[in-house]
């Protein structure tokens, strides 16, 4: 069964963070039809979100998430309805909590290791891998039976961009385009999307 929640949605929080591996958020609904009981919502459902500012907005978000928790249930309108929140995250975060990486990487670029973990341990399709910057040098790593995202974060500490893209602090994160592995300096050199204001002294 599926449910269009647009008409009962009261609040939506969607978060992308350079220092978190996946996108996440929650939506709050006001339910007067008892959907939580009818659909037997348990916090293991899928949630498809499509939204943007205008119909012509090229930055629309269209992603599939996993609901991992139903919380903040409380009666509304003298008991005629109920409000609750559905917390969601990327499917890969749940998979990363369930699997471990125990593998030896010999003389490999860290960026290649990141792609290997995404594809072979988290089953991330190519259309969800947005931009993986090549890293400098070849390293030996023995990943000691840890979660896939923990393995990526651990190797990221040693990663350096290639000389043609100087910088430091390689970050692994997800945005609306998919998963990225990029240096902070490269990100800061991206074209400005929008200027909010300018301070005058």
pLDDT at residue 59 greater than cutoff 80: no
Q: Note the pLDDT of residue 200.
A: 63
Confidence (pTM): 0.86
pLDDT at residue 124 greater than cutoff 70: yes
pLDDT in tens, 130-166: 999 999 999 999 999 999 999 999 999 999 998 777 6
pLDDT at residue 192 greater than cutoff 90: no
User: What number is the average pLDDT over the span 165-191?
Assistant: 88
Q: Note the pLDDT of residue 195.
A: 77
pLDDT at residue 34 greater than cutoff 90: no
Percent above pLDDT 70 for the chain: 94
Q: Note the pLDDT of residue 110.
A: 97
- C-alpha neighbours within 13 Å on the C-beta side of residue 168: 1
Q: Note the pLDDT of residue 2.
A: 80
Q: Note the pLDDT of residue 91.
A: 94
Sign of the torsion formed by the C-alpha atoms of 144, 149, 154 and 160: positive
Q: Note the pLDDT of residue 163.
A: 79
pLDDT in tens, 75-112: 988 888 999 999 999 999 999 999 999 999 999 999 99
Query: Where does residue 179 fall: left (phi above 0), alpha (psi -120 to 50 degrees), or beta otherwise?
Result: beta
Indicate the average pLDDT of the chain. Answer: 90
pLDDT at residue 42 greater than cutoff 90: no
CB 121 within 8 A of CB 148: yes
pLDDT at residue 58 greater than cutoff 70: no
């Amino acid at each position: 069964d599926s449910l269009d929640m647009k008409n009962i949605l009261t609040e939506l929080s969607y978060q992308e963070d350079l220092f978190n591996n996946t996108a996440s958020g929650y939506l709050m609904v006001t339910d007067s039809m008892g959907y939580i009981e009818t659909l037997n919502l348990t916090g293991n459902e899928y949630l498809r979100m499509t939204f943007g500012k205008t119909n012509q907005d090229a930055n629309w978000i269209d992603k599939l998430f996993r609901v991992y928790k139903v919380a903040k249930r409380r009666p509304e309108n003298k008991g005629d309805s109920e409000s609750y929140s559905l917390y969601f995250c990327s499917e890969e975060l749940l998979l990363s909590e369930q699997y471990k990486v125990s593998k030896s990487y010999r003389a490999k670029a860290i960026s290649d290791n990141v792609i290997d973990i995404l594809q072979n341990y988290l089953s991330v399709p190519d259309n969800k891998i947005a931009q993986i910057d090549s890293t400098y040098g070849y390293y030996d790593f023995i990943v000691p039976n840890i979660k896939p995202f923990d393995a990526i974060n651990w190797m990221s500490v040693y990663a350096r961009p290639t000389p043609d893209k100087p910088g430091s602090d390689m970050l692994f994160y997800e945005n609306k385009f998919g998963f990225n592995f990029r240096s902070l300096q490269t990100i800061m050199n991206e074209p400005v999307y929008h200027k909010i204001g300018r301070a005058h002294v």
